[in-house]
Chains A and B, each alone.
Chain A
Amino acid sequence: MAIDIKDIIKPENLVYSKSSLLTNRPMHYCPGCSHGVVNKIIAEVIEELGIQEDVIGVAPVGCSVLMYNYIEVDWHEAAHGRAPAVGTGIKRLLPEKYVFTYQGDGDCAAIGTAETIHACNRGENIVMVFINNGIYGMTGGQMAPTTLQGMKASTCPFGRDVQRDGNPLKMTDIVATLPGTCYVTRQAVHTAAAVRKTKKAIIKAFENQKNKKGTSFVEVVSTCNSGWKMTPMESNKWMEANMFPFYPLGDLKNE
């Protein structure tokens, strides 16, 4: 018996749709960008926990600077790298609110290294989401502190030379050693299974904040297909082959 597609597409058969917290504005991210997936996951988590009225997000400088256009919660914009400091202030003044920061690797691991480390060391009760694509995506694919050894970027076209440029920085491993953090994990969003795991991690991070356990730090190893000069599918494969050996996925700290 042939079933018409129109018989399947009915409201009672709905299994997955766009989160109601996401606005209808088309995202400005490049096709295939991991930012879109992580924005979607955060919107879904806030919707599932039913805390839309109590969430304040701190947007960074970088590709996700316009994130306030996409998720229907309260937002605060921070100067470059200062999202954890701004988040600290908001959380101390309004301790009953849920505060999360969302930063890229140029923001969190380069200009904002001090703010990141000190916020984690003080154990500020906030959620920090760190998108690591190993490159400065917005400004044209320059080398970042997280750029892998030998990885090509527009300011190191022959690959990162450790003798000249130093070693890549594992921000997540650094904050995992600090006593203020309660939950430090590294995830990815390249497959549906990885998306589900990342969603669970972000749910856990928000629950830790509810239970006043300390800083929860969620790194998402991401792609930047425009900056890497690859197609979205190629960049996912490149990330699996090159990024994951240096940035292995999994929980680094779970207290």
Chain B
Amino acid sequence: MAKIRGAIVVDTVTCKGCSLCVEACPTDVIRLADEVNGKGYNFAYMFNPEACIGCANCAMVCPDSCITVYKMKVEETV
């Protein structure tokens, strides 16, 4: 069965750590990092990358447009 796998790339330099993407993610993929970026914000990162479905909800609500979303179909082989 084909499965959808997604991935996001966060621009950690411009991320302001508002955590709106954390709330918008339906599969609980994103969390805020413990470390901070140059401005002192805890930037977002993929905490649970296997669960990402590439729905782009996080990128839609991101006020700073710092999320890029990728998605591909994966044929599962057991």
Using a CB–CB cutoff of 8 Å, the interface residues on chain A facing chain B are 1, 3, 5, 7-10, 13-19, 22, 26-27, 29-37, 40, 189-192, 195-196, 231-233, 236
Partner of A232, one of B19, B56, B67: B19
Q: Is there contact, CB below 8 Å, between A32 and B71?
A: no
- Cα A195 to Cα B58 in complex, Å, equals 11
Partner of B5, one of A3, A34, A40, A233: A3
State whether A195 and B68 are in contact (beta carbons under 8 Å apart), knowing that A31-B17, A32-B18, A32-B20 are contacts in the complex. Answer: no
Please, which residues of chain B bring their CB within 8 A of the CB of A10?
70, 72
Q: Is there contact, CB below 8 Å, between A195 and B60?
A: yes
Report which residue of A15, A191, A196 has the largest number of chain B beta carbons within 10 angstroms of its beta carbon: A15
Bin the interface of chain B by size.
35 or more
Q: Is there contact, CB below 8 Å, between A232 and B20?
A: yes
* B4 shortest CB reach to chain A, Å: 10
Q: Is there contact, CB below 8 Å, between A232 and B65?
A: no
Which residues of B in the span 42-78 have a Cβ within 8 Å of any Cβ on A? 46, 49, 54-57, 59-72, 74, 76-77
- Cα A191 to Cα B55 in complex, Å, equals 13
Q: Is there contact, CB below 8 Å, between B60 and A31?
A: no
Q: Is there contact, CB below 8 Å, between A37 and B70?
A: no
Q: Is there contact, CB below 8 Å, between B19 and A36?
A: no
Q: Is there contact, CB below 8 Å, between B49 and A5?
A: yes
Complex A-B: 27 CB contacts under 8 Å? A1-B76, A8-B70, A9-B9, A13-B70, A14-B69, A14-B70, A15-B6, A16-B56, A16-B59, A17-B59, A19-B65, A22-B65, A26-B13, A26-B64, A27-B14, A27-B63, A30-B16, A32-B18, A32-B20, A32-B63, A35-B63, A36-B63, A40-B62, A195-B60, A196-B60, A231-B19, A233-B23
Majority SS at the chain B contact face: mixed
Report which residue of B16, B24, B62, B70 has the largest number of chain A beta carbons within 10 angstroms of its beta carbon: B70
Please, which residues of chain B bring their CB within 8 A of the CB of A192?
24, 55-57, 60-61
- Measured CB to CB, the nearest residue on chain A to B54 is A15
- Cα A16 to Cα B74 in complex, Å, equals 19
- Cα A79 to Cα B63 in complex, Å, equals 26
Chain A CB within 8 A of B7 CB: yes
* B30 shortest CB reach to chain A, Å: 13
Please, which residues of chain A bring their CB within 8 A of the CB of B72?
7-8, 10, 13
* B22 shortest CB reach to chain A, Å: 8
- Cα A233 to Cα B71 in complex, Å, equals 27
* A44 shortest CB reach to chain B, Å: 9
- Cα A248 to Cα B32 in complex, Å, equals 32
